[in-house]
Amino acid sequence: MNATPLIKGFYDERTGSIQYVVSDPETRHCAIIDPVLDYDEKSGSTKTSSADAILSYIESERLTVQWILDTHPHADHFSAAAYLKTKTGAETAIGAKVVDIQKLWQKIYNMPEMKTDGSQWDHLFADGESFQIGNMVCRVIHSPGHTLASITYVVGDAAFIHDTLFMPDSGSARADFPGGSAESLWSSVEAILAFPDDTRLFTGHDYRPDGREAAWESTVGQQKAENTHVSQGCEAFIRLREERDATLPFPRLMLHALQINLNAGRLPASETNGTSYLKIPINAFAVQAW
């Protein structure tokens, strides 16, 4: 097993999201992690520019896509998993606890037609499960807090930690979405910081504080030394997280995105006029921050 995978990050400026291609340099097999389908909420239009940039990189590097992976159902962008599957034939996967989020949001959306068994994906990963990218053995860790279903992918000396910790100057991810928990997020962060100090950590978002260049790679040692959200321990983390989350508005695309992402990135079926439509609940949430 090669312990050092090759990793290419793709930054999406509109949503602050980072998409990844992680590849085995020996076999040139790869996985795509958290791909973005471009969506403009003003016009209701979608594009595949971000996903096509990933495909161009894969072609230029002569890689073979083995997996299309999501770390959780995203609240701020559409997943391009379904589109990329049509282009590559690779298997799609997400954490097994996605079924709990499907059941929760099926009620919020009042969509009895939404399947809540996870069958939209080719595979659901259980906590502790292993799989391979080429010759590299990868491990899945359930990392709840931001969502019920969030998972971390550990590939050699790298861990894809999604919305748990951001870069050290940005702290940690919010935990106030339905099913989220600051206490659970702290437990997930603790598990990540128990990795060796030289473990490379790849985060799911970067919002470029003070206008700095986008960044997405740190180490466990760097996070422990520099991330102020984790330095004061459990109680302080939970208090800080809950107080901060109470001031944050919902992501502008959350109600749009989740009905897509809980369907593995598939758009709603076209109606009789050939157009797909989203369903947005009105006054379903009593939020203080707009």
Domains by residue range for the chain, with CATH:
6-261 (3.60.15.10)
Q: What rounded mean pLDDT belongs to the chain?
A: 96
Q: In the prediction, which pLDDT does 59 show? A: 98
| pLDDT tens sequence across 74-130 | 999 999 999 999 999 999 999 999 999 999 999 999 999 999 999 999 999 999 999
| pLDDT tens sequence across 204-249 | 999 999 999 999 999 999 999 999 999 989 999 999 999 999 999 9
Q: In the prediction, which pLDDT does 1 show? A: 41
Q: In the prediction, which pLDDT does 289 show? A: 79
Q: In the prediction, which pLDDT does 3 show? A: 73
SS3 77: coil
Tokens of 113: 């037609």
Tokens of 277: 């439509």
| pLDDT tens sequence across 26-78 | 999 999 999 999 999 999 999 999 999 999 999 999 999 999 999 999 999 99
User: Measured between alpha carbons, how far is 209 from 194 in angstroms, rounded to an integer?
Assistant: 27
Residues contacting 191, CB < 8 A, separation 6+: 141, 143
Q: In the prediction, which pLDDT does 290 show? A: 80
Higher pLDDT, 126 or 289: 126
Which strands form 36-40's sheet, in the order they lie side by side? 45-47, 36-40, 78-79
| pLDDT tens sequence across 165-208 | 999 999 999 999 999 999 999 999 999 999 999 999 999 999 99
pLDDT of 276 over the 50 cut? yes
Q: In the prediction, which pLDDT does 232 show? A: 87
- Residue of 250, 157, 234 lying closest to 190 (CA atoms): 234
**What's the CA dihedral at 12, 173, 72, 177 to 10 degrees?**
-120
Contact 50, 154 (CB under 8 A): no
Q: What is the pTM of this model?
A: 0.96
Instruction: Report the sign of the C-alpha dihedral through residues 185, 186, 190, 193, in that order.
Output: positive
Q: What type of residue is 39?
A: Y
3-state secondary structure 174-242: CCCCCCCCHHHHHHHHHHHHCCCCCCEEEECECCCHHHCCCCCEEEHHHHHHHCCCCCCCHHHHHHHHH
Tokens of 114: 């939404």
Q: What type of residue is 41?
A: E
